[in-house]
Structure 1
Amino acid sequence: GRQESQVGFPTPKPALTSPSDGRTYVMYHGTTRECADSIRNNGFRRSSKGMLGPGVYLSRDLEKARRYPIDHPDEDRVIIKVKVNVGRIIVITHQNHPLQETWSSNGYDSAWVPPNCGMVKSGLEENCIWDPSRIQVIEIIKPKQAPPIPDCYLFVVL
């Protein structure tokens, strides 16, 4: 018998490019069922702290939102899908950026951390929106528990 091996790689998703000023984007926020109900009824509220200072933390990357809240049981996690007008945006690419936590008082409506820039452990992008009224809830979705995707697949035909 002849042996053949074939290695296939999953198709990489396109990298998220920098959001543009004044544009509206679909983003995601991972939270608990209870918090999602409160957000649906009363809207988002700024967190008091975080890597980018106070604001509402969102991501255009569904995978990022799926991981939150960290250390919470899967059955209590939901994702809020939203539309956001980002307004005037600043790109924060490194820790200790001079406006990392003060961008909102310097004329910016939102801050964006690009993927794989070293600021976020997961390497996934993150957005912080100062004014919750820029955010409109589309729907609340239950994340699918997808198994981790291996770096490659190996198929052997004998």
Structure 2
Amino acid sequence: ILTETQRDDFLPPGVFRLDAEPPHDGRTYVMYHGTTQAYAQSIVASGFRRSSGGMLGPGVYLSRDLQKASRYPPNHPEWDKVVIKVKVNVGRVIVINRQNHPFQKTWSNQGYDTAWVPPKCGMVRSGLEENCVWDPRRIQILQNTYCVKA
């Protein structure tokens, strides 16, 4: 049986592993989305839906960092948390690296497909990276099972 890390060694062609660098325009990355069991079942059945808001405004919040995604939703019982593993074509990416960035919540209106918050930039308490994808059609669930243990 392969561990999660070993499975990631066999990524599909054109899919990139998490590095310290930002996501590059037009590339496809493995990402993770933390949620509850009930929401995960809904996502698997009907696909992702854009949130109405958040730190980066509306979109689907994901991370290339499994540890980041496994913390969500915060203040929720561990037994009900699951992580969905996906691949995402990020399209055109904007870096949002500080609070009150001029496009922090309006990046999608500026022609960007994904907003990326770098690790350790002071925007996220955990210091881990975050991505917000505007169009849920850019996201494809990778595994038959949506429960990925961190």
TM-score normalised according to structure 1 size? 0.80
The answer to whether the 8 A contact 1:21-1:86 is kept is: yes
The within-5 A match list for 1:24-103 is: 24-103=28-107
Q: Which of structure 1's runs of 4+ aligned residues deviate more than 4 A?
A: none
Which of residues 115, 128, 132 is equivalent to 2:119?
A: 115
1:149 is matched with: none
Q: Deviations over 1:32-80 (max 9, x none)?
A: 0110000001000000010000000000000000101111111111000
Higher normalized strand content (fraction of residues)? 1
Work out the CA distance in 1 between the residues paired with 2:48 and 2:39: 9
Q: Report the number of matched residues.
A: 131
The answer for unaligned runs of 5 or more in structure 2 is: 1-17
Report which of the two structures shows the higher radius of gyration computed on alpha carbons.
1
Question: CA shift at 1:15, angstroms?
Answer: 5.4
Question: CA shift at 1:89, angstroms?
Answer: 0.3
SS in 1 for 2:142: strand
Work out the CA distance in 1 between the residues paired with 2:20 and 2:40: 26
Q: Deviations over 1:70-111 (max 9, x none)?
A: 111111110000000000000000000000000000000000
Work out the CA distance in 1 between the residues paired with 2:20 and 2:46: 30
TM-score normalised according to structure 2 size? 0.85
2:147 is matched with: 141
1:154 is matched with: none
SS in 1 for 2:30: strand
Tell which has more relative contact order, 1 or 2 (C-alpha 8 A, sep 6+): 1
Tell me the C-alpha RMSD between the 2 structures. Answer: 1.1
1:128 is matched with: 132
